[in-house]
Structure 1
Amino acid sequence: MKHQIGLIGLFTLALLLLSACGGREGSTATPAANAVQVQVKEADFTISSSVTSFTPGTTYHFVVTNNGATTHEFMIMPKAEGNMSGMPMGEMDKMALASIDTINPGETKTLDYTFPSSAANSHPQLVCYLPGHYEAGMKQDVTVKAS
């Protein structure tokens, strides 16, 4: 019995740590302490970000609003990947640094993400890879500068 309680406690702790790190799925959670807020606006078919230059080790609180009439997603890709039509969405998700799967029209979702030091001097891209969206212009080039 004590062993089962210990395992449940470890599992709960692991879930809390994973959610505190942020990165995979968006929510409307409270931002991490000292997080830099980033306003991201999605429309049909554009993405614009209030911040385009990021610093490794700094936590960013992405507030993503869909101002369009179509459902979108939000992904932070490690670099410009170009047109990936035909690639299964699960494979794209594995490549993403962070993502929000579905943002309906008029909806706002958030996620916290911290670029690692290994991302210094890189050029990630904020994108929507729903079919045809990237090709229609749903991409924003950004930079991760050296600390």
Structure 2
Amino acid sequence: MSMKSAALATAAFVLASGALAHGNEGHAGNPRKFDASRVEDTAFGREGDPARATRTIRVDMSDAMRFTPAELTVKRGETVKLVATNKGQVLHEMVLGTSVELQKHAELMKKFPGMEHDEPHMAHVKPGTSGEIVWQFTKAGEFQFACLIPGHFEAGMVGKVTVK
């Protein structure tokens, strides 16, 4: 095998391993348990303790490839519970992040369309069900949420979170 083929095979394995590492713990119907020792800071905040959520924000997802509401405003430091309800007939998801991170993840989803998620900033939601994200927005700025199912992001299934 040539060095180039070996490098490509290794890259494919690493990407596939990451894709397959997403388990079922955070999926709708199987809520993830909060573990303060596993919380990691990101550019857009960190996993929140459900016991400290100050409010619940409900967001609907539809097969028109839209979130309702598509714009959210939260206070810096606030912990909120986002309840994403799939009102459509196809799988949707809600993923929080920066615009750059979401774009990169959307590209990865095109390569691995069956990839499922088990990150605290993601909710993979089957039709007719709801998923939850409890998030503490630790930094001021504008962030996004999106459905990264192939074709959905490209169709405009993106929303904005403004942290003041």
Provide the identity percentage. Answer: 26
Q: Which amino acid aligns with 1:58?
A: E
> How far apart are residue 106 of structure 1 and its match?
0.2
Whether 1:23 and 2:47 are equivalent positions in the alignment is yes
> How far apart are residue 99 of structure 1 and its match?
1.0
> How far apart are residue 23 of structure 1 and its match?
3.1
Give the total of aligned pairs: 118
Pairing of 1:40-51 with structure 2 (within 5 A): 40-44=59-63, 45-49=65-69
Pairing of 1:40-79 with structure 2 (within 5 A): 40-44=59-63, 45-49=65-69, 52-79=72-99
> How far apart are residue 33 of structure 1 and its match?
3.7
Q: Which residue of 2 aligns with 1:113?
A: 135
Question: CA offsets, 1:30-82, max 9 Å, x none?
Answer: 94245211001001111123861111111101111000111011101123667
CA distance in 1 between counterparts of 2:84 and 2:76 reads: 21
Structure 1: state its 5+ residue gaps: 1-14, 25-29
2:35 partner SS: helix
Would you say the 8 A contact 2:62–2:87 is kept in 1? Answer: yes
TM-score for the superposition, normalised by structure 2: 0.59
> What root-mean-square deviation, in Å, do the aligned CA atoms of Structure 1 and Structure 2 show?
3.4
Change in CA separation of 1:31 and 1:67 when aligned onto 2, cut-off 3 Å: same
Which residue of 93, 99, 105 corresponds with 2:122? 99
Q: Which residue of 2 aligns with 1:132?
A: 151
Question: CA offsets, 1:104-132, max 9 Å, x none?
Answer: 0001111210011xx21x11111001100
Structure 2: state its 5+ residue gaps: 1-33, 41-45
Would you say the 8 A contact 2:47–2:121 is kept in 1? Answer: yes
Would you say the 8 A contact 2:39–2:47 is kept in 1? Answer: no
2:99 partner SS: coil
Q: Which residue of 1 aligns with 2:57?
A: 38
Change in CA separation of 1:107 and 1:78 when aligned onto 2, cut-off 3 Å: same
Change in CA separation of 1:83 and 1:130 when aligned onto 2, cut-off 3 Å: same
